[in-house]
């Protein structure tokens, strides 16, 4: 009769928890601090796990840990399991209480908080008035750090580059817009080319932010020179400076209102710049609380008119009825707890539904603007 494996201190979940923290943090010392254990205890857990699985899970470079191929494979399997077990008490209490109490932490940049979140926050507060909602006003790098450390449940924002350990589902899209003073020469041109913008000084957010990087990328790709007259943080400040005649700017349509049209000339630049998406950002494998799931349900985009094409508009009159009927959603359906094969995961990656449930099978950050 084969002997049973003897897990260190008799608990495989402890080994996997230590492994997941070490993999995420890249350090035995930091993993020990996060788990409130001694460093030798974590090292023993990792060593026991490697011996029992008969593989090397980490390459050790000094004090830094880097996952091997086998370690990465185990991490993808173990992280949802560890998250689920660690979150079971909160899930259990949440189900007992329903949505009557609790806390939801969301990271977002200034623009997202100012322009995108107000109706979503209002709707969430109306539906769940006893849930304490905390908005963390952070830039992209800080937001990702808080997501990775689980200081927040999720983030809402825009991303150009999505790291491997982050899931991003776009839910809103906004066109890039050129804004100028009302009497500016560009405001009066019937047709506009990118080279026409070149002689005029641009007012842009700081270089570290996504908008600046996107503007620079497009001008560089088109080999069109451009000049930055001012770097200023905040769309409202940028709009004010443009209205004062201190320059022109390329902004995302999310920040423009009807009132802006009385003081600014606005031109759509979708011909030259890609639209900016905003959506939900979470750590890959993150176990979402009932409150976080409820918020994601509010953010999800409408999926309507699946059967209608542009050709239909030539023979049919089409009116939107979202005021009266709820949107129809389409997505992936699996048995709860189902382990997905690599082929199934690959297919899900292609479909990429825009809601996050338990996340061991989705492949997917956040910026201030």
pLDDT digits 0-9 by tens, 15-28: 999 999 999 888 99
pLDDT at 320: 63
Residues 111, 254 contacting (CB under 8 angstroms): yes
Q: What is the CA radius of gyration of the chain?
A: 25
Helix (H, G, I), strand (E, B) or coil at 190: coil
Q: Indicate the pairing of strand 154-157 with strand 103-108.
A: parallel
Please report which confidence band the pLDDT of residue 312 belongs to, taking 50, 70 and 90 as the band edges. low
- At a CB cut-off of 8 Å and minimum separation 6, what does 53 contact? 70, 74
Mean of the pLDDT values across residues 256-262? 90
Q: Indicate the pairing of strand 64-67 with strand 58-61.
A: antiparallel
**CATH domain 8-86 topology:** Arc Repressor Mutant, subunit A (1.10.10)
For residue 116, the 8-state DSSP code is: I
- The pTM assigned to this predicted structure is 0.60
Q: How far apart are the C-alpha atoms of 197 and 205, rounded to whole Å?
A: 17
User: Residues of 335-357 as b/e, b for ≥16 C-beta within 10 angstroms?
Assistant: eeeeeeeeeeeeebeeeebbbbb
CATH class of 176-268: alpha beta
CATH class of 98-172+276-351: alpha beta
Is there a common fold for 98-172+276-351 and 176-268? yes
Residue position matching structure tokens 């999310």: 254
Residue spans per domain, the chain: 8-86, 98-172+276-351, 176-268
pLDDT tens figures, 116-126 = 999 999 999 99
Residue 343 has pLDDT above 50, yes or no: yes
pLDDT at 94: 64
Q: What is the mean pLDDT of the chain?
A: 81
Among residues 7, 63, 9, 13, the alpha carbon closest in space to that of 39 is found at: 63
Mean of the pLDDT values across residues 104-132? 90
| 89 φ/ψ sector (left φ>0, alpha ψ -120 to 50, else beta) | alpha
Please report which confidence band the pLDDT of residue 250 belongs to, taking 50, 70 and 90 as the band edges. very high
In sign, the C-alpha dihedral spanning 120, 80, 357, 139 is positive
pLDDT at 325: 59
pLDDT at 1: 43
pLDDT at 241: 96
Residues 67, 22 contacting (CB under 8 angstroms): no
- Phi, psi (5° rounding) for residue 204? -130, 160
DSSP one-letter string for 102-113 = -EEEEEE-HHII
Q: Above pLDDT 90, what percent of the chain?
A: 36
């Amino acid at each position: 009769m084969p002997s049973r494996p003897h897990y260190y201190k008799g608990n495989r979940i402890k080994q996997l928890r230590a492994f997941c923290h070490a993999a995420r943090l890249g350090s035995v010392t930091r993993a020990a601090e996060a788990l409130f254990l001694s460093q030798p205890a974590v090292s023993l857990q990792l060593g026991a796990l490697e011996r029992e699985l008969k593989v090397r899970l980490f390459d050790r470079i000094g004090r830094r840990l880097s996952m091997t191929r086998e370690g990465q494979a185990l991490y993808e399997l173990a992280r949802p399991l560890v998250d689920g077990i660690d979150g079971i008490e909160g899930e259990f209490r949440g189900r007992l209480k329903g949505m009557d109490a609790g806390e939801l932490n969301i990271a977002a940049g200034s623009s997202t908080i100012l322009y995108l979140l107000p109706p979503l926050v209002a709707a969430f507060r109306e539906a769940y008035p006893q849930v304490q909602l905390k908005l963390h006003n952070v830039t992209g790098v800080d937001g990702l750090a808080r997501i990775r450390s689980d200081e927040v449940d999720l983030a809402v924002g825009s991303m150009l580059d999505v790291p491997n350990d982050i899931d991003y589902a776009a839910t809103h899209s906004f066109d890039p817009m050129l804004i100028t003073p009302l009497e500016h020469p560009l405001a009066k041109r019937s047709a506009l080319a990118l080279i026409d913008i070149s002689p005029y000084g641009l007012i842009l957010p700081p270089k570290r932010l996504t908008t600046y990087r996107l503007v620079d990328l497009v001008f560089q790709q088109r080999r069109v020179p451009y000049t930055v007259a001012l770097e200023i943080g905040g769309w409202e400040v940028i709009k004010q400076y443009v209205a004062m005649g201190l320059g022109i700017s390329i902004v995302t349509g999310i920040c423009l209102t009807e009132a802006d049209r009385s003081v600014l000339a606005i031109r759509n630049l979708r011909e030259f710049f890609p639209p900016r998406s905003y959506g939900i950002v979470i750590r890959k494998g993150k176990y979402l609380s009932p409150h976080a799931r409820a918020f994601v349900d509010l953010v999800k985009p409408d999926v309507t008119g699946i059967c209608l094409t542009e050709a239909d508009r030539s023979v049919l009159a089409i009116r939107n009825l979202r005021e009266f009927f709820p949107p129809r959603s389409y997505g992936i359906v699996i048995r709860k707890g189902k382990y997905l094969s690599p082929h199934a995961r690959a297919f899900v990656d292609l479909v990429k539904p825009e809601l996050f449930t338990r996340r061991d099978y989705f492949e997917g950050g956040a910026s201030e603007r």
